[in-house]
Amino acid sequence: MKNSLILSAALFLFLPGFSQDLNYEVRGAYARGIKQEALRSPKRLSDFIAYYPVNWISSYRSVEISVNCHGKERTARSTNDSLSMEQQQILKNADLAADISILVNYDYRVPVTNVTEHNTIDIGMTVVPQTEAQYTGGRDRLFQYLKDNSPRIPAAISGELQQIIIRFTIDEQGKVSHPYIKRSFGDKETDRKFLKLIQNMPDWKAAENPEGKNVRQELEFVAERGGGC
């Protein structure tokens, strides 16, 4: 499933000779995104799951769909890939940033041996804004900001690979809010400087819902040393 805007495309920057050859990535804080629009009227799993592997499945045992939002979870089941009314309803009502889990239990008959295997497919996705947040000025300006303002890494920090991951939110006004360190670089002062880099980031163009209203979006910044190509 393609994520259309610059953040969800997982921007990648390699700057030779800069800050010990840091690799940068800015992305939506999710592994697989789906827009609310795609959840409004699906009837089958293949209606909203791209490349759903229908050819792998000889028969279904069960399909369980769970939607978790703000700690509250709703679950509905069906006997095959046709969504029940309850499944359709919980998908339609899924809020932004809600996590969706689809667990498919099925049988597959191996053509050569004619043996039936019991398998599962576990798919996770997160509801993302219709239009995702974008850095003012676009990709080039974002890279330039990182290049000009990222801290240099002290040579004393050893190890084959160091990485820092910072989660942050772009609010309805396009401002950075609630940044926090998800993974430490391994040096408190370096962590502090990277956190300041994100806190001082210029305003963004806020994300929008299907009606064009500004909404919040959680993003993720990654800086990594080592493993450059």
Locate 29 and state its tokens: 């804080």
pLDDT digits (tens, 9 = 90+) for 68-96: 977 789 999 999 999 999 999 999 999 99
Q: Give the span between the Cα atoms of 66 and 77, in whole angstroms.
A: 9
Locate 158 and state its tokens: 């050893």
First and final CA of the chain: distance in angstroms? 27
Mean pLDDT of 8-28: 55
pLDDT band for position 57 (50/70/90)? very high
pLDDT digits (tens, 9 = 90+) for 108-136: 999 999 999 999 999 999 999 999 999 99
Place of tokens 């919980």: 90
Locate 138 and state its tokens: 């676009």
pLDDT digits (tens, 9 = 90+) for 175-225: 999 999 999 988 899 899 999 999 999 999 999 998 999 999 999 999 987
pLDDT at 5 over 60: no
pLDDT for position 2: 36
Interacting residues of 22 by C-beta distance below 8 A, sequence separation 6+: 15, 150, 153, 223, 224, 225
pLDDT for position 7: 35
Q: Give the span between the Cα atoms of 227 and 103, in whole angstroms.
A: 35
Global confidence as pTM: 0.78
- Using DSSP's 3-state secondary structure scheme, residue 69 falls into strand
pLDDT digits (tens, 9 = 90+) for 126-167: 999 999 999 998 988 998 898 889 888 777 776 656 889 999
Sheet containing strand 116-128, strands side by side? 33-35, 116-128, 99-109, 59-69, 72-78
Q: Give the span between the Cα atoms of 118 and 49, in whole angstroms.
A: 21
Exposed / middle / buried, residue 35 (Cβ in 10 Å: 0-12, 13-18, 19+): buried
pLDDT for position 120: 96
Torsion over CA: 229, 153, 220, 212 (sign): negative
